Amino acid sequence: MNVPTPEQVEQMMIEKMGALPESLNLAKAVDPRFLIEQAMSSKFSVQDEKNPFDPKTSMLIMLAVSMTLGSDECAEVQTRMLKKMGLTKEELAYLVKIVKHAHASAVMGKAKAALKTFED
């Protein structure tokens, strides 16, 4: 497998995202190979030719996860990329509603143990 250099990966990321996210800039300063690792992770998931989801759907999934995990930087970058893919305000609004519902449902699931104490 032909592995690109950190510099090549950085250029590809800048072209795709508009700029290198600050977290990746900071990681690059520690060890430039972080860029390659990040790119390879994308190559074997979002960009994999066997990915059954179209690029926009894959990015929507990534955005939903970023929102859930609380990664503001990722959510901002992914939203910019999605806008380039044609994301509408209505689609974003529904994504937020779905993520909000999933988060609330997870809280109910986590409350199960506490709620069970009142079964008796």
Residue 112 belongs to domain with CATH number: 1.20.1290.10
Q: Which domain holds residue 2?
A: 1-44
Pull the structure tokens for residue 89: 């305000």
Neighbouring residues of 104: CB distance < 8 A, sequence distance ≥ 6: none
In this structure, are 30 and 64 located in the same domain? no
97-105 long-range contacts, CB within 8 A, separation 24+: 98/64, 99/64, 99/67, 99/68, 102/64, 102/68, 103/68
76-102 pLDDT, tens digit per residue, is 999 999 999 999 999 999 999 999 999
41-67 pLDDT, tens digit per residue, is 998 999 999 999 999 999 999 999 999
Structurally, the chain folds into a number of domains equal to: 2
In this structure, are 118 and 65 located in the same domain? yes
pTM (2 d.p.): 0.83
Asked if pLDDT for residue 68 goes beyond 90, the answer is yes
Per-residue pLDDT band for 11 (boundaries 50, 70, 90) equals very high
In this structure, are 61 and 99 located in the same domain? yes
In this structure, are 31 and 60 located in the same domain? no
Per-residue pLDDT band for 1 (boundaries 50, 70, 90) equals low
Confirm if 64 and 100 have CB atoms less than 8 A apart. Answer: no
Q: How far apart are CA 97 and CA 91, in angstroms?
A: 10
Q: What is the pLDDT of residue 58?
A: 96
Pull the structure tokens for residue 30: 């520690």
